[in-house]
Amino acid sequence: MLIKIYNDNPNPKAIAQAVDILRRGGVIIYPTDTVYGIGCDITQQKAIERVCEIRGLKPDKANLSFICYDLTDISQYTKSFDTAVFRVLKKALPGPFTFIFNATTKVPKLLSSKKKTVGIRVPDNNIVREIVKQLGNPIVTTSIHDEDEIIEYSTDPELIYEKYQDLVDAVIDGGFGDNVASTVVDLTEGTFDVVREGKGDLEQYL
């Protein structure tokens, strides 16, 4: 199923359709402010396993992140951090960053892994944030990779649909995606350690 949704004004019916798929344990592909992602409701264990299988990842070792609607959600999944960190997050999000935190005990249970950390994303994209808001849970997410050696990430939703239509329950067409991934920032030591340079420039928020 290919569902067209416009980022400027997401159609509530189309959002509800995507949310219904996720609630029923479905897997969807969706746009973010960087590359297209593949994911599911974090409470659906079999769906998480499907995401890992589609991407060729081992569930207990996969670096899956959570897409949250905003910062109010994240305290359930991350151990506490100081006010200075919170101020930077407030300025940088929504935005093209993945922040890695020390995880609460809730995270390994959700992901069936021994991971002590969790990546959190709040993308600057109305489509996926609205889906998360209506769902009431974060989405487990990982990027769609392309087999092309020159272009690492798939950007055309119709080509993504052609490739993944038999593997996922829906592809959300939010227009062309970017082919630059998010900037990954490790916060587990309480400092901003950029471990992957991507689309986001953290310097302007520090």
140-192 pLDDT, tens digit each: 999 886 554 445 567 889 999 999 999 999 999 999 988 889 999 999 999 99
pLDDT of residue 153: 60
In a domain, 167, yes or no: yes
In a domain, 177, yes or no: yes
Query: In angstroms, rounded to a whole number, what is the distance separating the alpha carbons of residues 206 and 201?
Result: 10
In a domain, 204, yes or no: no
Total tally of structural domains belonging to the chain: 1
Q: What are the C-alpha distances in Å from 199 to residues 113, 173, 176, 181, 204? A: 29, 21, 16, 6, 13
What residues make up the domain containing 124? 2-196
Domain containing 156 — which CATH number? 3.90.870.10
Task: Give the pLDDT band (50/70/90) at residue 113.
Answer: confident
In a domain, 131, yes or no: yes
pTM: 0.92
Half-sphere exposure of 121 (CA within 13 A, CB side): 31
In the 3-class helix/strand/coil scheme, how is the chain assigned residue by residue? CEEECCCCCCCHHHHHHHHHHHHCCCCEEECCCCCCEEEEECCCHHHHHHHHHHHCCCCCCCCCEEECCCHHHHHHCECCCCHHHHHHHHHHCCCCEEEEEEECCHHHHHHCCCCCEEEEECCCCHHHHHHHHHHCCCEEEEECECCCCCCCECCCHHHHHHHHCCCCCEEEECCCCCCCCCEEEECCCCCCEEEECCCCCHHHHC
In a domain, 206, yes or no: no
In a domain, 165, yes or no: yes
Task: Give the pLDDT band (50/70/90) at residue 118.
Answer: very high
Using one digit for the tens of pLDDT, what is the confidence trace for 54-83? Answer: 988 887 778 889 999 999 878 889 999 999
Mean pLDDT of the chain: 91
In a domain, 27, yes or no: yes
In a domain, 38, yes or no: yes
